């Protein structure tokens, strides 16, 4: 089992979650974080830290967010570790309200988040 970062994180990237992770399981992409399932110990500490409720236990994933289980695993292999909180992306507050953001996910680690 693992925890999964879901669609709500895209274009927000508040990073509050990173601060509480005891095993440094978060990986940083241009406009989203993911959790490395090989590192996650299911401690649940990150769940309440996310202002947009983007982090879900694998067993609680709704059908609409199931693809993020595989996406977290795949992208965690490509993206660097993040262990410190940083400023959220520009307009994160506005994007926090958006429901459909999957098409905006940037996967190339060399891209700049926007």
Contacts with ligand F3S, residue ranges (CB under 6 A): 5, 9, 12-17, 33, 49-50, 52, 54-55
CA atoms within 13 A on the CB side of 12: 27
Q: How far is the CB of 13 from ligand F3S (least distance, A)?
A: 5
Q: Which residues of 53-87 are buried (b: 16+ CB within 10 A; e: fewer)?
A: ebbbebeebeeebeebbebbbebbeebeebeeeee
Q: How far is the CB of 52 from ligand F3S (least distance, A)?
A: 5
Closer Cβ to ligand F3S, 55 or 75, answer by number: 55
The CB density around residue 4, as the number of other CB atoms within 10 Å, is 26
Q: How far is the CB of 110 from ligand F3S (least distance, A)?
A: 19
Closer Cβ to ligand F3S, 53 or 70, answer by number: 53
Q: How far is the CB of 49 from ligand F3S (least distance, A)?
A: 6
Closer Cβ to ligand F3S, 34 or 63, answer by number: 34
């Amino acid at each position: 089992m693992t925890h999964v970062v879901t669609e709500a994180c895209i274009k927000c990237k508040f990073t509050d979650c990173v601060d509480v992770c005891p095993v440094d399981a978060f990986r940083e992409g241009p406009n989203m974080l993911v959790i490395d399932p090989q590192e996650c110990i299911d401690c649940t500490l990150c769940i309440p830290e996310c202002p947009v409720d983007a982090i879900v236990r694998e067993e609680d994933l709704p059908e609409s967010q199931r693809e993020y289980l595989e996406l977290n695993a795949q992208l965690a292999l490509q993206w660097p570790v993040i262990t410190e909180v940083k400023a959220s992306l520009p307009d994160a507050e506005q994007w926090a309200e958006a429901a459909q953001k999957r098409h905006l996910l940037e996967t190339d680690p060399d891209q700049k988040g926007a």
